[in-house]
């Protein structure tokens, strides 16, 4: 009996204290399959960590980029790492604050803003990770870059801690956001807790705890197959003569791809997902070309 192919997305809820790469590596050893993760989480953070299996490891650029977090900002001091695991590098008095002025400051971060990534991060500059510069005490220029905050709201404010929820685009560092919020409030601050509640289109409530997954007798029951996961993309249906062109990377005109327009599409033939394709216009005609194939080989 042939072993069924298993590729797709595992909706893991990462525990605090583990790196994202350690989670992925343990799942790789457990399943004996190629793995990757979407959106790195800091070791101290917990939350949604989509883990890609098999051929789905090439899906990351086609996954929804919006992420959502619940963060706790501790006021009165700042650390070298931007969170409570680091060394204190600055302290400041905490001014008298009200929910009203905290909410006003939070809302000032809405939209596209400039943010400088933290030195303790995995971002590459001149071919080297920023944290490598940090641990060696080397100086490096870190350029600010645009990020987008789609939504931000105050959850709670007690004593010197502010809990807030933020919905943001790719490349956003919540540690840095915490520091910037504190500065705008007239003090220093550092991130004391972080939980990611949405990533890659997957909500916290739809995740499986990491320990539960790697101790399961049937781990594949948790895997979201590509045909289900990619439902946020519209579908096109190929006729029989177009299938080989698609699989071999050829151009397919709109006459052989029902429902085609410009953009990314799930590509089907007779209700079977073949992969993803990109619709584009050339010489005033619509064409489709494969960008990701749904590989059914167990070893891929």
Class of residue 271 by CB neighbours under 10 A (exposed 0-12, middle 13-18, buried 19+): exposed
Q: What is the pLDDT of residues 60-101, one digit of tens each?
A: 999 999 999 999 999 999 999 999 999 999 999 999 999 999
Active site residue 217: no
pLDDT tens-place string over residues 177-225? 999 999 999 999 999 999 999 999 999 999 999 999 999 999 999 999 9
Closest listed residue to residue 251, CA positions, set 282, 272, 274, 294: 282
Model confidence at 299, in pLDDT bands (50, 70, 90)? very low
CA–CA distances in Å: residue 1 to residues 7, 229, 300: 19, 27, 19
Q: Are residues 116 and 162 in the same domain?
A: yes
Question: Of 234, 263, 201, 248, which is closest to residue 52 (Cα–Cα)?
Answer: 201
Q: At residue 119, does pLDDT exceed 70?
A: yes
Looking at residue 111, what is its pLDDT? 97
Tell me if 43 sits within 8 A of 65, measured CB to CB. Answer: no
77 and 46, same structural domain? no
Asked if residue 288 has pLDDT above 90, the reply is yes
pLDDT for 199 equals: 97
Coil, strand or helix at 105: helix
Domain membership of residue 221 as a residue range: 8-64+201-227
Same domain, 167 and 47: no
Q: Are residues 205 and 175 part of one domain?
A: no
Same domain, 93 and 163: yes
Question: 160 and 171: one domain?
Answer: yes
3 lies in a domain?
Answer: no
Q: Clarify whether residues 32 and 132 are in a common domain.
A: no
Catalytic option among 42, 80, 209, 217: 42
CA atoms lying within 13 Å on the CB side of residue 215: 5
Q: Same domain for 122 and 165? A: yes
Q: What's the pLDDT score for residue 4?
A: 42
Least confident among 97-101, 113-117, 132-136, 260-264: 132-136
Q: CB-based contacts of 139: which residues, under 8 Å, 6+ apart?
A: 133
Whichever domain contains 35, its CATH number is: 3.30.2350.10
- The verdict on residue 1 lying in a domain is no
Whether 2 is in a domain gets the answer no
**77 and 169 fall within a common domain:** yes
* Per-chain mean pLDDT for the chain: 92
Q: Which ranges of 70-205 does DSSP label H, i.e. alpha helix? A: 99-107, 130-136, 174-184
- Same domain for 137 and 218: no
Q: Among 198, 216, 241, which residue terminates a domain?
A: 198
* Range in 3-12, 44-53, 57-66, 173-182 with the lowest mean pLDDT: 3-12
Contact 289, 252 (CB under 8 A): yes
Looking at residue 76, the DSSP 8-state letter turns out to be S
| C-alpha distances out from residue 70 to 88, 104, 155, 183, Å | 23, 18, 9, 19
Beta carbons of 151 and 106 less than 8 angstroms apart:
no
Tokens at 98, concatenated: 């009200």
Mark whether 114 and 89 lie in a shared domain.
Answer: yes
């Amino acid at each position: 009996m042939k072993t069924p192919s298993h590729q797709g997305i595992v909706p893991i809820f990462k525990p605090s204290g583990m790196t994202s790469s350690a989670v992925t590596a343990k799942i790789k050893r457990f399943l004996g399959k190629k793995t990757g993760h979407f959106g790195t989480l800091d070791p101290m953070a917990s939350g949604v960590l989509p883990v890609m299996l098999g051929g789905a490891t090439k899906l990351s650029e086609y996954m929804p980029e919006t992420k959502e977090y619940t963060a706790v900002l501790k006021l009165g001091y700042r650390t070298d790492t931007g969170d409570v695991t680091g060394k204190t590098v600055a302290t400041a008095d905490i001014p008298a604050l009200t929910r009203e002025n905290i909410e006003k400051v939070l809302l000032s971060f809405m939209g596209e803003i400039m943010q400088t990534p933290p030195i303790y991060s995995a971002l590459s500059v001149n071919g080297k990770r920023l944290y490598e510069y940090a641990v060696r005490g080397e100086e490096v220029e870190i350029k600010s870059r645009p990020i987008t905050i789609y939504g931000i709201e105050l959850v709670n404010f007690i004593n010197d801690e502010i809990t807030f929820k933020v919905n943001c685009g790719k490349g956003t560092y919540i540690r840095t956001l915490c520091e910037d919020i504190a500065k705008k409030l007239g003090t220093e601050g550092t991130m004391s807790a972080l939980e990611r509640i949405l990533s890659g289109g997957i909500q916290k409530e739809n995740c499986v705890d990491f320990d539960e997954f790697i101790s399961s007798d049937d781990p594949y029951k948790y895997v979201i197959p590509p045909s289900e996961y990619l439902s946020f993309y519209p579908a096109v249906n190929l006729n029989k003569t177009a299938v080989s062109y698609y699989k071999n990377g050829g151009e397919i005109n709109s006459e052989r791809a029902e429902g085609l327009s410009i953009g990314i599409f799930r590509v089907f033939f007779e209700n079977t997902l073949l992969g993803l394709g990109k619709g584009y216009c050339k010489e005033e005609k619509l064409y489709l070309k494969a960008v990701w194939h749904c590989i059914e080989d167990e070893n891929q």
